[in-house]
Amino acid sequence: MTGPARSIAPRATVAGVIAVGVTAIAHAAPAITSLPAPRNRLTPGLAGVGDPGHVALTFDDGPDPASTPQFLDLLAARGVRATFFLLGSMLAESPELGRELVAAGHEVAVHGWEHRYLVLRGPRATHDDLARGRDLVGEVAGRAPTYFRPPYGVLSTAALRSARCLGLRPVLWTAWGKDWSARATAGSVFRTVRRDLAGGGTVLLHDSDCTSAPNSWRSALGALPALLDECAERGLRVGPLREHFAEPATSAGLAWGIGEGPARTR
């Protein structure tokens, strides 16, 4: 091989490595919104900021016949409805429980089919996962779902593009209970949520332990009465996301879940 040819090959290799690196960074860039500070400040719609007189109550990872019915009973007793982000793999095993959620007036949304980090999945696999979950949730609910929350709250460029293509609005949260830990208790979950609880916020809890420590859902269930009492004392209504956003997302904002920003007080 001649001198010039030998010099071209390394350059091409370096260029290829740089191109792969740039692509990987672009794919994973939206994952920064998993950090609360930049998410709440830069993308309030994605964080779930809505009507300042309302708190959106949301649950992830169900439906689970071992635990979800107990959440249903408690919410029914308190006259509260919520949004449940369902895993397709769990819903496929308990479609009747999904229909029970809908019949009770709760909103069902998409948590994907499998509970896997989307930054580790390519565009096709990501789209197929979201589409499969959306289709089953829509079939069980009798209407197309509106909202999508990625597993672990970690987005990717492929996830945003797929969500937009599928008509799903990504929504994360402003307060969570860290109720997935084996060390979580009803008291710790309530105190953790209360630190960030505010009007217009979205609360994340889990109604299943399918991706968490065994029986960790009991800490979320135990914290619910105190959480609902706290909201009532502050004069905050509690309900699903469909009551939380006063205005629909714009087509541009839909990709990032930004929408029109915080809802106006009704």
Pick from 133, 124, 82: nearest CA to 105: 82
Q: Where residue 207 falls among pLDDT bands split at 50, 70, 90?
A: very high
pLDDT for 251 equals 37
Among 51, 60, 61, 179, the active-site one is 60
The yes-or-no verdict on residue 21 having pLDDT over 50 is no
Pick from 160, 151, 86: nearest CA to 117: 151
* CATH annotation of 32-254: 3.20.20.370
Say what the pTM is.
0.83
What is the tens place of the pLDDT at every residue in 40-53? 676 788 999 999 99
Lowest-confidence range among 19-23, 73-77, 243-247? Answer: 19-23
The yes-or-no verdict on residue 29 having pLDDT over 50 is no
Percent of the chain residues past pLDDT 90, beyond the cut = 74
Between 21 and 192, the more confident residue is: 192
pLDDT for 120 equals 86
Query: In whole angstroms, what is the distance from residue 98 CA to residue 84 CA?
Result: 9
Among 61, 206, 209, 244, the active-site one is 206
Query: Residue range 229-244: average pLDDT?
Result: 98
Spell out the residues 6+ positions from residue 81 whose beta carbon is closer than 8 angstroms to its own: 75, 104, 105, 106, 107, 239, 240
Catalogue the E-assigned strands of the chain: 54-62, 83-86, 107-110, 147-148, 169-170, 175-176, 202-206, 237-239
What is the tens place of the pLDDT at every residue in 164-186? 999 999 999 999 999 999 999 99
- Per-residue buried b or exposed e for 124-145, using 16+ beta carbons within 10 Å of the residue's own CB: eebbebbbbbbbbbeebbeeeb
What is the tens place of the pLDDT at every residue in 106-122? 999 999 999 999 988 89
The yes-or-no verdict on residue 16 having pLDDT over 50 is no
Query: Residue range 212-240: average pLDDT?
Result: 98
Domain extent listing, the chain? 32-254
Let me know if 60 is a catalytic residue.
yes
The yes-or-no verdict on residue 245 having pLDDT over 80 is yes
Burial status of residue 261 (CB atoms within 10 A of its CB: 0-12, 13-18, 19 or more): middle
